[in-house]
Amino acid sequence: MQNDRVKYLTVIRHFMEEFIDFPELNLPEFDYRIPYNIEEVAMKVREHWGLGNEPIRNMVGLLEENGFVVTSINTRINSIDAFGSNQIIGDKEYYTIVLGNDKRSFYRRQFTAAHELAHKILHDPELNTDEISKEEFKKIEEEANEFASAFLLPMDAFFKDVSLHPTDINYYKHLKKKWCVSISAMIVRAHRLGVITPNQYQYLQRQISRYNWRINEPFDDTKNLEEPVAIRQAVELLIENEVLNGKEFLQKLSKDYELSLLREEVELLLGLEEGYLKTETENVRIISIEDLKK
């Protein structure tokens, strides 16, 4: 079901390109078959997107600005924060990401979105995870996590910040506000960069457990979740400017792109309010002959 949703969303995006000028997929050239240094790859993407060493305030918006197709839905699967894949329609390449709405944390979503970016850059686009070993899958996930950490917390700038008070758990709350990354992820990054020793890392992990921060950290409930907006706003632009109504939108999708979906499923995929694509004709009451005889 999840793989089908990625395909459906990509087809809808391709269809809307008849009317809307979306950003093209914008990434520096990489060849996943050549050995790479993840730190260097992360910095190359930052440079390509003109990010410098600054914190990333909206990872989801950044992906959309650079041509990724992104939506968010309830996956109803606890083990899945997001999933995505390379899609080819005609001669055009897309990378489509579905973010889970089940765990509504801005900071967790930041890391998840960067993790999905890593898969696009680092790994074989034709890879079928059902056909690889658990060890291979674990390695791929670890690489994606390492990239997400390096991308969100660039080495030089974060090293300088975290080195001021590397073992003070409360200092990480200050860093969380600046870098828009969870305390847990920053501690892992500090350890990887050698700012803290293994013993200090274990000490900070115990502090996290002591304060019950494994699930909910400070500020998690004060920051609104960043939602994908590009594809939803594109549909609203078409409907509100009467280029198409909801019925015409669904009919064209079915006739020209051979994608016949229920209105409710399309609304869910695109992050639209329930009933947004409903037209007035759907509310017309059919009067039977028997009613007229009464």
Residue boundaries of the structural domains of the chain: 2-153
pTM of the predicted structure, to 2 decimals? 0.90
- Tens digit of pLDDT for each residue in 256-271? 999 999 999 999 999 8
| Burial bucket for residue 246 (CB in 10 Å: 0-12, 13-18, 19+) | buried
Torsion of CA 261, 64, 15, 104, to 10 degrees: 10
Q: 102-137 pLDDT, tens per residue?
A: 667 899 999 999 999 999 999 988 887 888 899 999
Contact present, 277 and 267 (Cβ < 8 Å): yes
pLDDT band at 285 (very low <50, low <70, confident <90, very high): very low
* pLDDT confidence bin for 292, thresholds 50/70/90: very low
